[in-house]
Amino acid sequence: MMLLAHNSGGRERTEQDWKWLFAETGFLRYNIIRIKALPSIIEAFPI
């Protein structure tokens, strides 16, 4: 999936991008867990 995004002109989302996307789709609670092994883990919770 990362390779597909890279080849199609995709970009990495910022926390503000995620916040907007979650709010627009009804996920007002979320956690972004930053770890060294991966870019991050994102948990989103519906209202």
Residue 46's pLDDT is what? Answer: 86
More confident residue, 10 or 43: 43
Return the amino acid letter for 29: R
**What pLDDT, on a 0 to 100 scale, did the predictor assign at position 31?**
93
Q: With left for phi above 0 and alpha for psi between -120 and 50, is residue 5 left, alpha or beta?
A: alpha
Q: What is the pLDDT of residue 20?
A: 93
pLDDT (tens digit per residue) in 1-38: 445 445 566 778 888 999 999 999 999 899 989 888 87
How far from 3 is each of 6, 7, 30, CA to CA, in Å? 5, 6, 26
How is the chain split into domains, by residue range?
13-45
Cβ pair 28, 44 in contact under 8 A: no
pTM (global) more than 0.85: no
Residue 7's pLDDT is 54
E strands, 1-47, in order? 29-33, 41-45
